[in-house]
Structure 1
Amino acid sequence: MNDKEKILIVEDEFIVGNDLRMMLVKGGYDVCGIAASVEQARTLIEQKKPDWVLLDIILKTPTSGIELAKELLQQEIPFLYISANTNQQTLEAAKATQPYGFLVKPFRERDLFVMLDIARYRYGMETGMIKQKTSTGPVETTPDPDIIGNSSALSKALDQVRAVAPTNTSVLLLGESGTGKERFARAIHKNSLRKNKPFITVNCAALPVSLLESELFGHERGAFTGAVQKRTGKFEQANGGTIFLDEIGELPLDAQVKLLRTLQEREIEKLGGDQLIKVDVRVIVATNRNLEKEVADGRFRLDLYYRLNVFPIELPPLREHKEDIEALAFHFLKKLSDNSDKKISRISKATLKSLQQYDWPGNVRELEHLIERQFILANGEEIDSTDIPGLQAGLIPADGKLETMEEMERAHILKVLKACNGRVSGIMGAADILKIPAQTLYSKMKKLGIKTIYK
Structure 2
Amino acid sequence: MKEKILIVEDEFIVANDLKIMLLKAGYEITGIASSVVQARKLIVDKRPDWVLLDIMLKGDLTGIDLAWELREIQLPFLYISANTNQTTLEAVKATHPYGFMVKPFRERDLIVMLDIAKYRFGQEKGTLAEIPLDNENEEIEGIIGKSSLLREVIEKIKIVAPAETSVLILGESGTGKERVAHSIHDLSAHKSNAIVIVNCAALPHSLIESELFGHEKGAFTGANSLRIGKFEQADNGTIFLDEIGELPLDSQVKLLRVLQEKEIQRLGGNKTIKINVRVVAATNRSLEKEVAEGRFRLDLYYRLNVFPIQLPTLKERKEDIEALADYFLKKYAASSRKNVSSISTAALNQLKNYDWPGNIRELEHLIERNVLLAKTSEIEKFDLPSHNSSPLEFNNGKMKSMEEMEKEHIMNALQICEGKVSGPGGAAELLKMQPQTLYSKMKKLGIKQGYN
- Could you say whether these structures have the same fold, taking a TM-score greater than 0.5 normalized by the shorter chain as the test? yes
2:127 alignment counterpart: 128
Give the stretch that moved more between structures: 443-452 or 240-249. 443-452
> Counterpart of 2:399?
none
Q: Structure 2: which 5+ residue stretches go unaligned?
A: 395-404
Structure 1 CA distance for aligned equivalents of residues 430 and 269 of structure 2: 30
Partner Cα separation in structure 2 for residue 180 and residue 41 of structure 1: 45
1:206 aligns with 2:196: no
Moved more, 444-453 or 66-75: 444-453
Alignment of 1:33-112 (within 5 A): 33-59=31-57, 61-86=59-84, 91=89, 93-112=91-110
C-alpha change, 1:289 and 1:412, in structure 2 (3 Å) is farther
Q: What are the equivalent positions in structure 2 for 1:176-255 lying under 5 Å apart?
A: 176-255=172-251
Match of 1:405 in 2: none
Match of 1:451 among 441, 445, 448: 441
- Residue 111 of structure 2 aligns with which residue? 113
Deviation at 1:390, TM superposition (A): 2.7
**Structure 1, residues 305-341: CA drift from partner, whole Å, max 9, x if none?**
2211111111111111111111111111110011122
Give yes or no for contact 2:420–2:426 (8 Å, CA) kept in 1.
Answer: no
Question: Secondary structure, in 3 states, of the residue corresponding to 1:200?
Answer: strand
SS in 1 for 2:168: strand
Counterpart mapping for 1:149-160 below 5 A: 149-160=145-156
Are the aligned partners of 1:445 and 1:451 in contact in 2 as well (CA < 8 Å)?
A: no
Deviation at 1:392, TM superposition (A): 5.6
Q: Deviations over 1:246-296 (max 9, x none)?
A: 001111222222211211121111111111111111111101112122223
Q: How far does residue 99 in structure 1 lie from its aligned partner after superposition?
A: 2.4
Task: Indicate the residue corresponding to 1:267 in structure 2.
Answer: 263
Which secondary structure state, in structure 1, belongs to the residue aligned with residue 441 of structure 2? coil
* CA–CA distance in structure 1, aligned partners of residues 168 and 250 of structure 2: 20
Scaled by the length of structure 2, the TM-score of the pair is 0.85
Aligned mate of 1:293, from 281, 289, 292 = 289
SS at match of 1:80: strand
State the distance in 2 between where 1:397 and 1:55 align.
55
Within 2, Cα distance between the matches of 1:296 and 1:241?
33
Q: Measure, in 2, the Cα distance between the counterparts of 1:384 and 1:166.
A: 44
Distance 1:439 1:289, change over 3 A: closer
1:436 aligned partner:
426
Q: Which residue is 2:307 aligned to?
A: 311
Q: How does 1:328-339 map to 2 (within 5 A)?
A: 328-339=324-335
**8 Å Cα contact 2:414/2:427 also seen in 1:** no
Instruction: Check whether the contact 2:213–2:232 (CA below 8 A) recurs between aligned residues.
Output: yes
CA distance in 2, matches of 1:66, 1:57: 6
Partner residue in 1 for 2:398? none
Give 1:63 shift.
4.2
Alpha-carbon separation, structure 2, partners of 1:87 and 1:183: 34
1:369 matched to 2:359: no
SS for the counterpart of 2:162 is: coil
- From 111, 118, 139, the counterpart of 1:142: 139
Shift of 1:35: 2.1
What CA deviation, in whole Å up to 9, does each residue of 1:191-250 have, x standing for no partner?
A: 011111111101010121122211111111111121111111111111111110100111
d(CA) in 1 for partners of 2:314, 2:307: 22
CA distance in structure 1 between the partners assigned to 2:242 and 2:248 by the alignment:
13
2:189 & 2:436 partners in 1: Cα distance? Answer: 40
Counterpart of 1:402 in structure 2 is none
CA distance in 2, matches of 1:122, 1:205: 31
Structure 1 residue 386 corresponds to structure 2 residue 376: no
* Paired residue type of 1:435: G
- Specify the SS of the correspondent of 1:110: helix
Partner residue of 2:397? none
Contact 1:219 1:230 in 2 (8 A): yes
TM superposition shift of 1:360? 1.3
Q: Measure, in 2, the Cα distance between the counterparts of 1:31 and 1:292.
A: 34
Query: CA contact under 8 A between 2:166 and 2:307: conserved in structure 1?
Result: yes
Quote how far apart the aligned CAs of 1:132 are.
11
| 1:326 maps to 2:322 | yes
Change (3 A) 1:201 1:120: same
RMSD (Å) for aligned C-alpha atoms? 3.4
AA at the equivalent of 1:430: V
> 3-state SS of the aligned residue for 1:451?
helix
Does the residue aligned with 2:193 lie in a helix, a strand or coil?
A: coil
2:71 aligned counterpart, secondary structure: helix
Further displaced range: 209-218 or 191-200: 209-218
Aligned to 2:402: none
Q: 1:203 to 1:158 in 2, by over 3 A?
A: same
Counterpart position of 1:28: 26
Structure 1's 225 and 410: CA in aligned 2 closer, same or farther, altered over 3 A?
farther
Superposed CA offset, 1:330-366 (max 9, x none): 1111100111221212112122112112221211111
The alignment partner of 1:254 has SS state of helix
Change (3 A) 1:347 1:131: farther
TM (normalized to structure 1)? 0.85
Distance in structure 2 (CA, Å) of the matches to 1:271 and 1:133: 42
- Give the Å deviation of 1:166: 0.6
Describe the shift of the 1:54–1:412 C-alpha distance in structure 2 as closer, same or farther (beyond 3 A). farther
Q: What displacement does 1:395 show?
A: 6.8
| Secondary structure of 2:309 counterpart | strand
- In the alignment, structure 1 segments of 5+ residues that lack a partner are 399-408
Partner of 2:201, secondary structure, is: coil
**1:140-165 CA distances to partner (integer Å, 9 max, x unpaired)?**
9422x211111111111110100010
Partner Cα distance (1:78, 1:305) in 2 = 21
Of stretches 63-72 and 315-324 in structure 1, the one that deviates more from structure 2 is 63-72
Alpha-carbon separation, structure 2, partners of 1:349 and 1:5: 54
Query: In the alignment, is the contact (CA less than 8 A) between 2:36 and 2:61 conserved in 1?
Result: yes
Question: Partners in 2 of 1:212 and 1:356 — Cα distance?
Answer: 42
